[in-house]
Structure 1
Amino acid sequence: MSHAGEVTVAVAANFTAPMQKIAKAFEQDTGHKAQLAFGATGKFYAQIKNGAPFAVLLAADDETPARLEREGLAIAGTRLTYATGRLALWSKQANVVDDKGEVLRSNSFNKLAIADPKLAPYGIAAMEVIHKLGVQGSVIPKLVQGESIGQTYQFVSTENAQLGFVALSQISVDGRITQGSAWVVPQHLHTPLKQDAVLLNAGKDNAAAHALLKYLQGDTAKAIITSYGYAL
Protein backbone atom coordinates (compact mmCIF):
# COMPACT_ATOMS: atom_id res chain seq x y z
CA MET A 1 0.00 0.00 0.00
CA SER A 2 2.89 2.35 0.70
CA HIS A 3 3.80 2.17 -2.99
CA ALA A 4 0.35 3.19 -4.19
CA GLY A 5 0.49 5.12 -7.43
CA GLU A 6 -1.78 6.87 -9.87
CA VAL A 7 -2.68 6.01 -13.45
CA THR A 8 -4.33 8.27 -16.03
CA VAL A 9 -6.76 6.26 -18.15
CA ALA A 10 -8.50 7.15 -21.42
CA VAL A 11 -11.80 5.24 -21.42
CA ALA A 12 -14.24 4.73 -24.31
CA ALA A 13 -17.51 6.50 -23.48
CA ASN A 14 -19.60 3.31 -23.61
CA PHE A 15 -17.60 1.95 -20.67
CA THR A 16 -18.18 4.95 -18.36
CA ALA A 17 -20.44 3.35 -15.74
CA PRO A 18 -18.58 0.04 -15.35
CA MET A 19 -15.19 1.77 -15.29
CA GLN A 20 -16.26 4.15 -12.52
CA LYS A 21 -17.18 1.10 -10.43
CA ILE A 22 -14.00 -0.78 -11.37
CA ALA A 23 -11.83 2.23 -10.47
CA LYS A 24 -13.41 2.37 -6.99
CA ALA A 25 -12.84 -1.34 -6.42
CA PHE A 26 -9.31 -1.09 -7.85
CA GLU A 27 -8.44 1.65 -5.37
CA GLN A 28 -9.93 -0.31 -2.46
CA ASP A 29 -8.13 -3.51 -3.41
CA THR A 30 -4.73 -2.15 -4.49
CA GLY A 31 -4.43 1.37 -3.09
CA HIS A 32 -3.71 2.66 -6.62
CA LYS A 33 -5.82 5.51 -7.92
CA ALA A 34 -7.16 5.64 -11.50
CA GLN A 35 -7.81 9.09 -12.98
CA LEU A 36 -10.42 8.56 -15.69
CA ALA A 37 -11.17 10.54 -18.85
CA PHE A 38 -14.14 9.48 -21.01
CA GLY A 39 -14.67 10.09 -24.72
CA ALA A 40 -14.66 8.80 -28.27
CA THR A 41 -11.94 6.29 -29.13
CA GLY A 42 -11.02 8.19 -32.33
CA LYS A 43 -10.57 11.38 -30.36
CA PHE A 44 -8.32 9.68 -27.83
CA TYR A 45 -6.26 8.24 -30.67
CA ALA A 46 -5.64 11.76 -32.00
CA GLN A 47 -4.77 13.05 -28.51
CA ILE A 48 -2.34 10.19 -27.83
CA LYS A 49 -0.63 10.84 -31.18
CA ASN A 50 -0.28 14.47 -30.10
CA GLY A 51 1.42 13.49 -26.84
CA ALA A 52 -1.46 13.33 -24.34
CA PRO A 53 -0.05 11.74 -21.15
CA PHE A 54 -2.50 8.83 -20.82
CA ALA A 55 -0.91 5.67 -19.42
CA VAL A 56 -3.64 3.22 -20.43
CA LEU A 57 -6.29 3.23 -23.16
CA LEU A 58 -9.54 1.29 -22.88
CA ALA A 59 -10.81 1.51 -26.45
CA ALA A 60 -14.23 0.72 -27.93
CA ASP A 61 -12.56 -1.44 -30.59
CA ASP A 62 -9.54 -3.66 -31.09
CA GLU A 63 -8.18 -1.77 -34.10
CA THR A 64 -7.13 1.44 -32.32
CA PRO A 65 -4.91 -0.25 -29.69
CA ALA A 66 -3.36 -2.42 -32.44
CA ARG A 67 -2.67 0.69 -34.50
CA LEU A 68 -1.06 2.51 -31.55
CA GLU A 69 1.13 -0.54 -31.03
CA ARG A 70 2.16 -0.60 -34.72
CA GLU A 71 2.95 3.12 -34.57
CA GLY A 72 5.18 2.68 -31.53
CA LEU A 73 2.86 4.60 -29.19
CA ALA A 74 1.85 1.60 -27.09
CA ILE A 75 3.87 -1.16 -25.46
CA ALA A 76 3.95 -4.31 -27.64
CA GLY A 77 2.44 -7.40 -26.07
CA THR A 78 0.22 -5.57 -23.55
CA ARG A 79 -3.05 -5.59 -25.53
CA LEU A 80 -5.96 -7.49 -24.08
CA THR A 81 -9.68 -7.76 -24.78
CA TYR A 82 -11.44 -6.58 -21.63
CA ALA A 83 -15.03 -6.75 -22.93
CA THR A 84 -17.21 -7.34 -25.97
CA GLY A 85 -19.80 -4.60 -26.30
CA ARG A 86 -23.46 -4.90 -27.22
CA LEU A 87 -25.38 -2.37 -29.29
CA ALA A 88 -28.99 -1.47 -28.50
CA LEU A 89 -31.67 0.60 -30.22
CA TRP A 90 -33.26 2.65 -27.44
CA SER A 91 -36.07 5.10 -26.81
CA LYS A 92 -36.72 6.84 -23.50
CA GLN A 93 -40.42 6.17 -24.08
CA ALA A 94 -41.96 2.82 -23.27
CA ASN A 95 -43.47 0.82 -26.16
CA VAL A 96 -41.67 2.76 -28.91
CA VAL A 97 -38.96 0.23 -29.70
CA ASP A 98 -40.18 -3.33 -30.34
CA ASP A 99 -38.04 -6.41 -29.70
CA LYS A 100 -37.11 -6.86 -33.38
CA GLY A 101 -36.22 -3.27 -34.26
CA GLU A 102 -39.13 -3.03 -36.71
CA VAL A 103 -39.62 0.59 -35.61
CA LEU A 104 -36.72 1.42 -37.98
CA ARG A 105 -38.97 0.48 -40.90
CA SER A 106 -41.98 2.37 -39.56
CA ASN A 107 -40.96 5.94 -40.44
CA SER A 108 -42.81 6.96 -37.26
CA PHE A 109 -39.88 8.74 -35.60
CA ASN A 110 -38.31 12.13 -36.26
CA LYS A 111 -34.63 11.62 -35.41
CA LEU A 112 -32.31 8.67 -34.89
CA ALA A 113 -29.11 9.31 -32.94
CA ILE A 114 -25.89 7.42 -33.61
CA ALA A 115 -22.28 7.97 -32.58
CA ASP A 116 -20.06 9.52 -35.27
CA PRO A 117 -18.75 6.53 -37.29
CA LYS A 118 -15.52 8.45 -37.98
CA LEU A 119 -14.73 8.60 -34.26
CA ALA A 120 -16.71 5.88 -32.52
CA PRO A 121 -16.76 2.12 -33.18
CA TYR A 122 -20.35 1.97 -31.90
CA GLY A 123 -21.24 4.41 -34.68
CA ILE A 124 -19.65 2.12 -37.27
CA ALA A 125 -21.69 -0.80 -35.87
CA ALA A 126 -24.90 1.27 -36.00
CA MET A 127 -24.33 2.05 -39.69
CA GLU A 128 -23.68 -1.64 -40.41
CA VAL A 129 -27.04 -2.52 -38.82
CA ILE A 130 -28.87 0.16 -40.84
CA HIS A 131 -27.37 -1.20 -44.07
CA LYS A 132 -27.94 -4.87 -43.15
CA LEU A 133 -31.61 -4.13 -42.48
CA GLY A 134 -31.84 -2.22 -45.77
CA VAL A 135 -33.41 0.86 -44.13
CA GLN A 136 -30.73 3.38 -45.11
CA GLY A 137 -33.00 5.18 -47.60
CA SER A 138 -35.53 6.22 -44.99
CA VAL A 139 -33.25 6.37 -41.94
CA ILE A 140 -30.14 8.25 -43.09
CA PRO A 141 -31.98 11.60 -43.61
CA LYS A 142 -33.08 11.38 -39.95
CA LEU A 143 -29.65 10.73 -38.43
CA VAL A 144 -28.12 12.98 -35.79
CA GLN A 145 -24.56 12.22 -34.75
CA GLY A 146 -23.02 12.41 -31.31
CA GLU A 147 -19.27 12.80 -31.04
CA SER A 148 -19.17 9.75 -28.77
CA ILE A 149 -21.66 7.15 -27.60
CA GLY A 150 -21.92 9.26 -24.44
CA GLN A 151 -23.25 12.22 -26.40
CA THR A 152 -25.52 9.92 -28.42
CA TYR A 153 -27.04 8.65 -25.18
CA GLN A 154 -27.60 12.28 -24.11
CA PHE A 155 -29.54 13.02 -27.32
CA VAL A 156 -31.93 10.16 -26.62
CA SER A 157 -32.21 10.66 -22.86
CA THR A 158 -33.09 14.35 -23.33
CA GLU A 159 -35.46 13.28 -26.16
CA ASN A 160 -33.80 15.51 -28.73
CA ALA A 161 -33.87 12.27 -30.68
CA GLN A 162 -36.72 9.82 -30.27
CA LEU A 163 -34.49 6.81 -30.91
CA GLY A 164 -30.81 6.06 -30.86
CA PHE A 165 -28.23 3.31 -31.16
CA VAL A 166 -26.50 3.28 -27.78
CA ALA A 167 -24.37 0.86 -25.79
CA LEU A 168 -26.40 -1.71 -23.88
CA SER A 169 -24.25 -0.85 -20.83
CA GLN A 170 -25.74 2.67 -20.78
CA ILE A 171 -29.33 1.49 -20.39
CA SER A 172 -29.20 -1.78 -18.45
CA VAL A 173 -28.05 -3.15 -15.14
CA ASP A 174 -27.97 -6.88 -14.37
CA GLY A 175 -29.72 -7.68 -17.63
CA ARG A 176 -32.67 -5.32 -17.08
CA ILE A 177 -33.39 -2.29 -19.25
CA THR A 178 -33.63 0.52 -16.70
CA GLN A 179 -35.87 2.91 -18.63
CA GLY A 180 -37.91 3.20 -21.82
CA SER A 181 -37.91 0.54 -24.53
CA ALA A 182 -35.05 -1.16 -26.34
CA TRP A 183 -34.00 -3.75 -28.89
CA VAL A 184 -30.70 -5.46 -28.12
CA VAL A 185 -29.21 -5.80 -31.59
CA PRO A 186 -28.30 -9.39 -32.56
CA GLN A 187 -24.54 -9.64 -32.89
CA HIS A 188 -24.66 -11.10 -36.41
CA LEU A 189 -25.89 -7.72 -37.70
CA HIS A 190 -22.57 -5.96 -37.10
CA THR A 191 -18.84 -6.57 -36.68
CA PRO A 192 -18.18 -7.72 -33.09
CA LEU A 193 -17.48 -4.81 -30.73
CA LYS A 194 -14.30 -6.31 -29.31
CA GLN A 195 -12.94 -3.76 -26.87
CA ASP A 196 -9.20 -3.86 -26.20
CA ALA A 197 -7.06 -2.17 -23.58
CA VAL A 198 -3.38 -1.39 -24.06
CA LEU A 199 -0.50 0.04 -22.05
CA LEU A 200 0.65 3.29 -23.63
CA ASN A 201 4.23 4.54 -23.64
CA ALA A 202 3.53 6.96 -20.78
CA GLY A 203 2.55 3.98 -18.62
CA LYS A 204 5.61 1.85 -19.32
CA ASP A 205 7.21 2.30 -15.89
CA ASN A 206 3.99 3.05 -14.00
CA ALA A 207 3.21 0.28 -11.48
CA ALA A 208 -0.40 1.45 -11.16
CA ALA A 209 -0.89 1.17 -14.94
CA HIS A 210 0.42 -2.42 -14.99
CA ALA A 211 -1.72 -3.24 -11.94
CA LEU A 212 -4.86 -1.86 -13.62
CA LEU A 213 -4.44 -4.00 -16.74
CA LYS A 214 -4.03 -7.05 -14.51
CA TYR A 215 -7.05 -6.01 -12.42
CA LEU A 216 -9.27 -5.80 -15.51
CA GLN A 217 -8.77 -9.53 -15.99
CA GLY A 218 -9.62 -10.44 -12.39
CA ASP A 219 -12.90 -11.69 -10.96
CA THR A 220 -14.03 -8.39 -9.40
CA ALA A 221 -13.71 -6.47 -12.66
CA LYS A 222 -15.25 -9.31 -14.69
CA ALA A 223 -18.32 -9.41 -12.43
CA ILE A 224 -18.84 -5.65 -12.89
CA ILE A 225 -18.30 -5.87 -16.66
CA THR A 226 -20.84 -8.66 -17.20
CA SER A 227 -23.41 -6.93 -14.94
CA TYR A 228 -23.53 -4.14 -17.56
CA GLY A 229 -24.40 -6.50 -20.39
CA TYR A 230 -20.92 -6.98 -21.86
CA ALA A 231 -19.66 -10.38 -22.90
CA LEU A 232 -16.15 -11.37 -21.81
Structure 2
Amino acid sequence: MLKLISVESYYGRIRALKGISLEVPEGEIVALLGANGAGKSTTLRTISGLIHTAGGEILYQGQPIHHISPHRIVRLGICQVPEGRDIFMGLTVQENLKMGAFTRKDGKEVQRNLNRIYTSFPILNSRAKQMAGTLSGGEQQMLATARALMSNPKLMLLDEPSLGLAPLLVEEIFHIIEEINREGVTILLVEQNANMALRTARYGYVMETGRIALHDEAENLIKNDYVRKVYLGAGD
Protein backbone atom coordinates (compact mmCIF):
# COMPACT_ATOMS: atom_id res chain seq x y z
CA MET A 1 0.00 0.00 0.00
CA LEU A 2 2.75 2.46 1.02
CA LYS A 3 6.35 2.32 -0.10
CA LEU A 4 9.23 4.69 0.63
CA ILE A 5 12.22 4.34 -1.69
CA SER A 6 15.50 6.04 -0.69
CA VAL A 7 13.64 9.01 0.79
CA GLU A 8 15.60 12.02 1.96
CA SER A 9 14.30 15.13 3.69
CA TYR A 10 15.54 18.05 5.75
CA TYR A 11 14.35 19.49 9.05
CA GLY A 12 15.51 23.06 8.63
CA ARG A 13 19.13 22.69 7.53
CA ILE A 14 19.50 19.28 9.15
CA ARG A 15 19.43 16.24 6.87
CA ALA A 16 16.86 14.31 8.87
CA LEU A 17 16.13 11.36 6.55
CA LYS A 18 19.13 9.82 4.83
CA GLY A 19 17.76 7.61 2.10
CA ILE A 20 15.26 5.49 4.02
CA SER A 21 13.25 2.70 2.42
CA LEU A 22 10.32 0.92 4.01
CA GLU A 23 7.04 -0.72 3.07
CA VAL A 24 3.62 -0.90 4.71
CA PRO A 25 1.46 -3.69 3.22
CA GLU A 26 -2.29 -3.18 3.04
CA GLY A 27 -4.16 -4.37 6.11
CA GLU A 28 -1.08 -4.59 8.33
CA ILE A 29 0.27 -2.77 11.37
CA VAL A 30 3.92 -1.82 10.88
CA ALA A 31 5.97 -0.37 13.75
CA LEU A 32 8.68 2.27 13.36
CA LEU A 33 10.96 2.33 16.40
CA GLY A 34 13.89 4.48 17.44
CA ALA A 35 15.22 6.91 20.01
CA ASN A 36 14.31 10.60 20.17
CA GLY A 37 15.77 12.39 17.17
CA ALA A 38 16.08 9.24 15.06
CA GLY A 39 13.74 10.64 12.40
CA LYS A 40 10.52 8.78 13.14
CA SER A 41 8.19 11.78 13.33
CA THR A 42 9.97 13.37 10.37
CA THR A 43 9.19 10.22 8.39
CA LEU A 44 5.47 10.54 9.13
CA ARG A 45 5.45 14.26 8.37
CA THR A 46 7.23 13.60 5.08
CA ILE A 47 4.66 10.96 4.10
CA SER A 48 1.88 13.43 5.00
CA GLY A 49 3.41 16.12 2.79
CA LEU A 50 4.14 18.44 5.72
CA ILE A 51 7.87 18.16 4.99
CA HIS A 52 9.05 18.13 1.38
CA THR A 53 11.19 15.29 0.11
CA ALA A 54 14.69 16.16 -1.02
CA GLY A 55 15.15 12.86 -2.82
CA GLY A 56 13.64 9.43 -3.37
CA GLU A 57 10.02 8.42 -3.89
CA ILE A 58 6.91 7.88 -1.79
CA LEU A 59 4.38 5.59 -3.46
CA TYR A 60 0.82 5.09 -2.23
CA GLN A 61 -1.14 2.35 -3.94
CA GLY A 62 1.50 2.44 -6.66
CA GLN A 63 1.22 6.18 -7.34
CA PRO A 64 3.80 8.84 -6.35
CA ILE A 65 2.57 11.25 -3.67
CA HIS A 66 5.78 13.02 -2.64
CA HIS A 67 5.02 16.14 -4.67
CA ILE A 68 1.37 16.71 -3.76
CA SER A 69 -0.17 18.89 -1.04
CA PRO A 70 -1.11 17.62 2.45
CA HIS A 71 -4.86 18.13 1.96
CA ARG A 72 -4.77 16.09 -1.25
CA ILE A 73 -2.90 13.35 0.60
CA VAL A 74 -5.70 13.30 3.20
CA ARG A 75 -8.26 12.98 0.42
CA LEU A 76 -6.38 9.97 -0.92
CA GLY A 77 -7.03 8.23 2.41
CA ILE A 78 -3.90 8.95 4.48
CA CYS A 79 -4.35 10.58 7.88
CA GLN A 80 -1.82 11.37 10.60
CA VAL A 81 -2.41 11.48 14.35
CA PRO A 82 0.47 13.74 15.47
CA GLU A 83 2.62 13.40 18.55
CA GLY A 84 1.15 15.36 21.44
CA ARG A 85 -2.36 14.82 20.03
CA ASP A 86 -2.68 18.39 18.72
CA ILE A 87 -6.41 18.68 19.31
CA PHE A 88 -8.31 21.99 19.32
CA MET A 89 -8.47 22.72 23.04
CA GLY A 90 -10.97 25.58 22.66
CA LEU A 91 -13.50 23.48 20.74
CA THR A 92 -15.87 20.82 22.03
CA VAL A 93 -15.26 17.12 21.50
CA GLN A 94 -17.91 17.03 18.77
CA GLU A 95 -16.50 20.10 17.04
CA ASN A 96 -13.05 18.47 17.04
CA LEU A 97 -14.49 15.32 15.50
CA LYS A 98 -16.26 17.27 12.76
CA MET A 99 -12.99 19.06 11.97
CA GLY A 100 -11.60 15.63 11.09
CA ALA A 101 -14.07 15.42 8.20
CA PHE A 102 -13.24 18.84 6.72
CA THR A 103 -12.15 17.38 3.35
CA ARG A 104 -15.31 15.30 2.94
CA LYS A 105 -18.39 16.40 0.99
CA ASP A 106 -20.70 13.47 1.86
CA GLY A 107 -22.60 15.04 4.77
CA LYS A 108 -24.95 12.13 5.48
CA GLU A 109 -22.10 9.62 5.52
CA VAL A 110 -20.10 11.95 7.80
CA GLN A 111 -22.99 11.88 10.28
CA ARG A 112 -23.16 8.08 10.09
CA ASN A 113 -19.41 7.99 10.65
CA LEU A 114 -19.80 10.25 13.69
CA ASN A 115 -22.42 7.89 15.10
CA ARG A 116 -20.05 4.94 14.61
CA ILE A 117 -17.29 6.87 16.38
CA TYR A 118 -19.57 7.47 19.36
CA THR A 119 -20.39 3.75 19.45
CA SER A 120 -16.70 2.79 19.33
CA PHE A 121 -15.64 5.54 21.78
CA PRO A 122 -18.52 5.82 24.30
CA ILE A 123 -16.47 8.12 26.54
CA LEU A 124 -16.37 10.66 23.69
CA ASN A 125 -20.14 10.36 23.27
CA SER A 126 -20.63 11.22 26.93
CA ARG A 127 -18.22 14.17 26.57
CA ALA A 128 -19.52 15.40 23.19
CA LYS A 129 -20.36 18.92 24.41
CA GLN A 130 -17.35 19.19 26.72
CA MET A 131 -14.37 21.38 25.82
CA ALA A 132 -11.52 19.24 24.54
CA GLY A 133 -9.02 21.05 26.75
CA THR A 134 -10.72 19.67 29.86
CA LEU A 135 -10.27 16.00 28.86
CA SER A 136 -7.70 13.73 30.49
CA GLY A 137 -4.59 12.73 28.55
CA GLY A 138 -6.06 9.35 27.62
CA GLU A 139 -9.33 10.91 26.51
CA GLN A 140 -7.44 13.46 24.40
CA GLN A 141 -5.56 10.62 22.68
CA MET A 142 -8.85 8.86 21.97
CA LEU A 143 -10.23 12.11 20.55
CA ALA A 144 -7.19 12.63 18.31
CA THR A 145 -7.48 9.07 17.00
CA ALA A 146 -11.24 9.32 16.50
CA ARG A 147 -10.85 12.68 14.74
CA ALA A 148 -8.48 11.01 12.26
CA LEU A 149 -11.05 8.26 11.67
CA MET A 150 -13.58 10.93 10.68
CA SER A 151 -11.61 11.42 7.45
CA ASN A 152 -12.44 7.78 6.61
CA PRO A 153 -8.76 6.84 6.15
CA LYS A 154 -7.33 3.78 4.46
CA LEU A 155 -3.93 4.38 6.08
CA MET A 156 -3.33 5.91 9.53
CA LEU A 157 0.02 7.32 10.64
CA LEU A 158 0.11 7.18 14.45
CA ASP A 159 2.83 9.20 16.18
CA GLU A 160 3.56 8.18 19.79
CA PRO A 161 -0.05 7.33 20.79
CA SER A 162 0.99 6.17 24.28
CA LEU A 163 3.11 9.23 25.10
CA GLY A 164 2.55 10.40 28.67
CA LEU A 165 -0.20 7.88 29.45
CA ALA A 166 -0.52 5.65 32.50
CA PRO A 167 0.09 1.91 31.88
CA LEU A 168 -3.62 0.97 32.00
CA LEU A 169 -4.44 3.66 29.45
CA VAL A 170 -1.58 2.47 27.23
CA GLU A 171 -3.20 -0.97 27.12
CA GLU A 172 -6.54 0.60 26.22
CA ILE A 173 -5.05 2.74 23.44
CA PHE A 174 -3.30 -0.25 21.89
CA HIS A 175 -6.53 -2.25 22.08
CA ILE A 176 -8.21 0.56 20.12
CA ILE A 177 -5.38 0.49 17.55
CA GLU A 178 -5.92 -3.24 17.04
CA GLU A 179 -9.68 -2.71 16.67
CA ILE A 180 -9.13 0.00 14.04
CA ASN A 181 -6.84 -2.35 12.13
CA ARG A 182 -9.38 -5.18 12.31
CA GLU A 183 -11.89 -2.84 10.69
CA GLY A 184 -9.62 -2.60 7.64
CA VAL A 185 -7.39 0.41 8.31
CA THR A 186 -3.67 -0.06 7.60
CA ILE A 187 -1.43 1.48 10.29
CA LEU A 188 2.13 2.81 10.41
CA LEU A 189 2.87 3.14 14.12
CA VAL A 190 5.66 5.30 15.56
CA GLU A 191 6.11 4.38 19.20
CA GLN A 192 8.84 4.55 21.85
CA ASN A 193 7.14 1.79 23.84
CA ALA A 194 8.89 -0.82 21.73
CA ASN A 195 7.48 -3.76 23.66
CA MET A 196 3.85 -2.77 23.07
CA ALA A 197 4.54 -1.75 19.47
CA LEU A 198 6.17 -5.06 18.56
CA ARG A 199 3.44 -7.04 20.33
CA THR A 200 0.88 -5.19 18.19
CA ALA A 201 2.63 -4.99 14.81
CA ARG A 202 3.42 -7.75 12.32
CA TYR A 203 6.60 -6.10 11.02
CA GLY A 204 8.98 -3.52 12.43
CA TYR A 205 11.68 -1.07 11.39
CA VAL A 206 14.32 0.42 13.68
CA MET A 207 15.56 3.93 12.86
CA GLU A 208 18.85 5.42 14.01
CA THR A 209 20.05 8.92 13.03
CA GLY A 210 17.88 9.18 9.94
CA ARG A 211 18.53 5.70 8.58
CA ILE A 212 16.84 2.31 8.80
CA ALA A 213 19.24 0.30 10.95
CA LEU A 214 17.25 -2.92 11.17
CA HIS A 215 13.98 -4.42 9.98
CA ASP A 216 12.30 -7.79 10.40
CA GLU A 217 9.12 -9.56 11.46
CA ALA A 218 8.03 -8.15 14.82
CA GLU A 219 8.33 -11.52 16.55
CA ASN A 220 11.96 -11.75 15.40
CA LEU A 221 12.79 -8.21 16.52
CA ILE A 222 11.49 -9.01 20.01
CA LYS A 223 14.06 -11.82 20.17
CA ASN A 224 16.89 -9.79 18.59
CA ASP A 225 19.69 -9.25 21.14
CA TYR A 226 20.40 -5.68 20.03
CA VAL A 227 16.73 -4.67 20.09
CA ARG A 228 16.25 -6.35 23.47
CA LYS A 229 19.21 -4.51 24.97
CA VAL A 230 18.66 -1.05 23.46
CA TYR A 231 14.87 -0.80 23.09
CA LEU A 232 13.30 -3.42 25.35
CA GLY A 233 15.48 -2.84 28.41
CA ALA A 234 16.70 -6.44 28.61
CA GLY A 235 20.08 -7.11 30.16
CA ASP A 236 22.94 -9.11 28.69
TM (norm. structure 1) is 0.31
Higher relative contact order (CA 8 A, sep 6+): 1
TM (norm. structure 2) is 0.31
